[in-house]
Structure 1
């Protein structure tokens, strides 16, 4: 009895497992293809050149057949199940022709990116895709937009009975083809191009190789005319901010107008193949975004220029520390605006050309390599940018400060992202990379105050009257408008030798360059006073004609040596 029960349980288990295996087999088949009863019954038998076993073969065969104008054969690569048998024979070739035109102009399809396996299994040797190894029966090959809506062109795998499964363009993808054809169909110009010029040469048709240079030439001519027109308008405008702004936006406005004209031509006059259209589309979006960004940036520059002129004035260290600090902050704000504009324009461009879904994934996958390459290639630029932010935050220098950099007296005229512009004393401009400037020692003469001590040194004879010189020095210095703090004027003998003494005159000036001028003026007046009133104070060499010491009243037994020269031994010269 127990033996019979055991055999019964085994029989039930085998039956259950066979049902499960059968169900799994049916589910596996459903995952590999769509089972249909018939396929394109209204068309003839597919010719031999129609290859539909893999997604790559199906798309490549469709493109080759439509390129040869064999639309009847290309119709076998469409799933026309939503049409009756009579409509399939009539509308199938026309749908193939329209779809070929849409794909040629709407989106460039690289057939090498499509799966070459019949089951379109996801291959991922790195093992990063969680769906690796799973077969697919439905693929997207293109996504196009018309009237604000997105339409996908998809391939699906179908099987009729025991026949081999084939890959065809789905009926849902064929429904919007007439609508897409209205947008991506032949342009007005292409309709008038002779058929012999529509043969393919490379990735473009023959007529496109001629039309594209003409298209670029016309667009460039429009830009040149816009630059001239804006230049004329800038000269007509009254001097000041309007004319400055108009002269600075000539090129950005020309770029924006060029993109508008180019887009108009592409929409209504001429249309090119998808590879050219995609390139032009990315280029136009980029130029438009940067053009608008530059126009906005120039507007900010003009506002900052007005604020600087109204609140600060000319750039030098005569201004107070607060004004120079404010001007430096304005330049920091400008750099911040530039950074925000760059980020915003870049995000806009990427969002418009939809690189986040395609190229963006590739960039993220190789982010480590790109980071290393950018770090090496842009090390100098990034270093200068970071150094400029360091200067803006720490403010070791400010706009208008007077610095001595590598022996040059310079005013800080501008602090930009990658360089610092210095104005030398002779009105030349010295452009120094920010990183280079911050890595070299410099002397900031305007950190606390612009005033500066100046020293005049004169070498005079020992019998010069220092007290007389001190009085004259104070008289001359107090007459100079750039000499301040008159109570600090002083005069001392700072050195001497056997023949002369060094008299130093100290004066405080309002700022270094004005102090240099005041120093020169006082020096000239002192020299003029000595020349006109006391020429005997000039230092000189004394020739001794006798060795007799007048103070001692004795004469040398050897007699005089008229050829000897003794500095300071007498006053006969």
Structure 2
């Protein structure tokens, strides 16, 4: 019985390992009856055991103009054997030219293991990762279709070793990729000695890049000057201002477009240069168009503001102040829309989220948390700015009392507000800080404001006489409105004297402040000339001395 159970366990174990080995073998490579039978014998130094070795062999053979040897890194299974020798050399040459001009090979990212397993991090374990039998090198989007340079692992027959080759689909895609990204017409006139490699770039590239940069700067300066000159001849003032401000962004756009045309028709730089220049040109194009559009719209909105609103303060009507605030809100919406559109355009053109770098960036949790913490204040201020634009607890031109300072709301930007005090100082306040603190809005309904003049006088002061004089002064002052609101009350009393408060309504805070000063001066003059005995008296207990002091 024991022997029977041992035999059963051995059989089950053998079946399990046999299935596992078979499964591993089927997932480790693609089976093929024969590989490149029309090419003949491969070079002795050809190494196709790993993805890195296969790519290095292809690049080294191609740089040495040994395209017949580089052809052995291609899977020509879709090409008839008799056509393989001629076709393979041409495809190898075209594929190398595409890789050399459009692919920045990250050798450290190419696996050096035959099974292409990725080593896991310490947190994931010490062993290798999942086995792979094909790898993508570069994905292109051309005329609405996707083309990919890809290598895969193949095995022909039971006795041969698995090898890494460029896939048959890559071989088929080489022709359209070469037409789009291969050598340009100007390169035919470059001497062969200038095409040698030097420091990762060809010699002519070291000379051509500075020359091209200088020409583009000159063209950009010319475009900016031309736009500025045309702006002076515009029939309307706001168009002159708009195009004058849009000159520099339009120059950036023109330079980026011209550089794209040069790279598409005249010359084609190598992979490292293209990998940097192409994204940079896309970003410059999007930035140039976005900045030009924003500046033109901004100039138009400024013109509308000056024409229909004018200089804003609390003397303007509520409708005009709301219009001004709505214009600023419209600016913020337009800016957000343009920034979002430009970012979407750049991401779509560059396929950033399909690259290794952006994948690592998107998956970096620590970096994401740090960026979130760093951008919390900025995002909070932007949301608070939008909250003000929608709810309008304060409008541009409103008169506010904020932390002891009376000021006008001069501007509301994305992240901060600019307050203009009565003495022409500017207070810069973060938007989120402003909305989180209590403040007095003296213009929330209308600009009218009740100003108060307080005087501290002796007990002997006659409030009826003071009231009559204040009413007389207030009715004569042009800064006082609604004369039925004029009032005088005794608002406090203690051992030192009485406090008498005088009230008058003004049309707006700025007028009211000046009016308050005039009324105070008038009341002090009246007391000084007619009743000096009403000044506060400093009394000493026991009545020994009485000293009159002017308050």
Q: TM-score range by the shorter chain?
A: 0.7 to 0.9
Contact 2:102/2:271 (CA < 8 Å) preserved in 1?
Answer: yes
1:70 matched to 2:94? The reply is no
Contact kept? 2:31, 2:155, Cα under 8 Å: yes
Q: What does residue range 223-372 of structure 1 map to in structure 2 within 5 Å?
A: 223-238=220-235, 240-309=237-306, 312-359=309-356, 361-366=359-364, 368-372=365-369
- The 1-side partners of 2:536 and 2:308 are apart by 59
TM-fit CA distance, 1:209 = 2.9
SS for the counterpart of 1:397 is coil
1:106 matched residue in structure 2: 102
Quote the Cα distance in structure 2 between the aligned partners of 1:183 and 1:68.
Answer: 24
Classify 1:33/1:540 alpha carbon distance in 2 versus 1 (closer, same or farther; 3 Å): closer
Distance 2:459 2:27 in 1: 117
- Deviation for aligned residue 1:29: 5.7
The alpha-carbon distance between structure 1 residues 520 and 338, as it changes in their structure 2 partners (threshold 3 A), is same
| Shift, 1:312, TM fit | 4.2
Are the structure 2 counterparts of residues 495 and 567 from structure 1 closer, same or farther at C-alpha, using a change threshold of 3 Å?
farther
Q: Please tell me whether the aligned partners of residues 36 and 72 of structure 2 are also in contact (alpha carbons under 8 angstroms).
A: no
Report matched runs for 1:53-92 at 5 Å.
Answer: 53-80=49-76, 88-92=84-88
**Does structure 2 conserve the Cα–Cα contact (< 8 Å) formed by 1:40 and 1:76?**
no
Map 1:419-430; keep pairs closer than 5 Å. 419-430=416-427
1:208 alignment partner, one of 192, 205, 208: 205
17, 29, 45: which one aligns with 1:49: 45
Normalization by structure 2: what TM-score?
Answer: 0.80
Query: CA–CA distance in 1 between the matches of 2:491 and 2:99?
Result: 92
Tell me the distance in 1 between the aligned counterparts of 2:522 and 2:429.
39
| TM-score with structure 1 setting the length | 0.77
> How many pairs were matched up?
526
Structure 1 contact 106–144 (Cα < 8 Å) conserved? no
CA distance in structure 2 between the aligned counterparts of 1:25 and 1:448, rounded to whole angstroms: 82
Cα deviations by residue, 1:76-116 (Å, 9 ceiling, x for unpaired): 32344566677544454343222211111122232332333
Q: Taking structure 1 as reference, are residues 566 and 154 closer, same or farther at Cα in structure 2, changes over 3 Å only?
A: closer
Is the contact between residue 238 and residue 303 of structure 2 (CA under 8 Å) also seen in structure 1?
yes
Partner of 1:432: 429
Shift in CA distance, 214/538, structure 1 to aligned 2, threshold 3 Å: farther
Q: Which moved more, 1:518-527 or 1:499-508?
A: 499-508
Residues 499 and 539 of structure 1 are in contact (CA less than 8 Å); yes or no, is this contact kept in structure 2?
Answer: no
Tell me if the contact between 2:28 and 2:115 (Cα under 8 Å) persists in the aligned partners: no
CA contact (8 A) 1:464 1:537 kept: no
Cα pair distance change 1:74/1:521, threshold 3 Å? same
Q: Which residue of 2 aligns with 1:10?
A: none
Which whole-Å CA distance do the structure 1 matches of 2:35 and 2:348 have between them?
43
Matched, 1:396 2:393: yes
**Looking at CA atoms only, which structure, 1 or 2, has the larger radius of gyration?**
1
Contact 2:36 2:81 in 1 (8 A): no
Is residue 242–residue 300 contact of structure 2 (8 Å, CA) maintained in 1?
no
Q: 1:208 to 1:535 in 2, by over 3 A?
A: same
- Cα distance in 2, alignment partners of residues 38 and 303 from structure 1: 68
Q: 1:411 aligns with which of 408, 411, 414?
A: 408
- Segment drifting more, 54-63 vs 298-307: 298-307
- Alpha carbons of structure 1 residues 499 and 56: separation in structure 2 relative to 1, 3 Å: closer
443, 453, 473: which one aligns with 1:446: 443
Q: C-alpha distance in 2, partners of 1:539/1:38?
A: 117
Unaligned runs of 5+ in 2: 1-10, 538-543
Pairing partner for 2:219 from 202, 219, 222: 222
- Which of the numbers 381, 387, 411 marks the counterpart of 2:378? 381
SS in 2 for 1:484: coil
